[in-house]
Amino acid sequence: MIVVTSPMSDDEFPNAQELEQMFLGRYDRPLDNKGRITLPAPFRDALGTEKAVLTRGLDRCLFLVPAHQFETWRQRVRELRLADQRARILRRHLFSEADDGTPDAQGRITLAPYLREYAGIEGAVVVAGVDTHMEIWNAQRWAEMSAQAQASGDDAAWWDEVGL
């Protein structure tokens, strides 16, 4: 059940597919010698038969995004002015480094060499659910990021910012 405490436009309200397709949790995965990882079963289940896009994320991780969510991002980026340098950089970051992220029959995805290099991925990998998409991290970077988040102290201010 969703309780809405402030008015939302139809564009802001999650559709039924988005509500069913929530990615939660974190999983440790090995990278095989072909540059593949096996997605966690709950993430494969949430993705179902939908295609997915793998691209450069923020903070030197990779984003694995269901096709419908990537299309939402694509439409928003298309609305940005081409004359704006930051918009051009975002377009390049998001689209030129994108690859097919649809799992094979065994639930594996291949991380292209240029994406592995960007994220520093070799050996141990963390796959984290982040609601609408997944993040794929170098395990050491994930540990460092988690330690920084914990060291930042009380996160009540973050909860307050979103009104919870």
Q: Which long-range contacts (CB under 8 A, 24 or more apart) does 47-54 make?
A: 47/21, 47/103, 48/21, 50/21, 51/100, 51/102, 52/100, 52/101, 52/102, 52/103, 52/109, 53/98, 53/99, 53/100, 53/101, 54/98, 54/99, 54/100, 54/101, 54/109, 54/111, 54/112, 54/115, 54/136
State residue 2's pLDDT score: 32
Q: Is residue 68 in a domain? A: yes
Residue 85 located in a structural domain: yes
Answer whether residue 115 is part of any domain: yes
pLDDT tens sequence for the chain (164 residues): 333 333 444 555 555 555 567 999 999 999 999 999 999 999 999 999 999 999 999 999 999 999 999 999 999 999 999 999 999 999 998 999 999 999 999 999 999 999 999 999 999 999 999 999 999 999 999 999 988 877 776 567 777 777 76
Residue 13 within any structural domain of the chain: no
Whether 131 is covered by a domain: the verdict is: yes
Closest CA to 39 of 139, 117, 110, 114: 110
User: Within a domain: residue 144?
Assistant: yes
pLDDT of residue 1: 30
Q: How much is the pLDDT for 18? A: 52
Q: Rounded CA gap, 65 and 96, in Å? A: 15
Whether residue 123 lies inside any domain: the answer is yes
In a domain, 11, yes or no: no
How many structural domains are present in the chain?
A: 1
pTM above 0.85, yes or no: no
The whole-number pLDDT of residue 38 equals 98
Full domain range(s) for residue 94: 21-151
The CATH number of residue 35's host domain is 3.40.1550.20
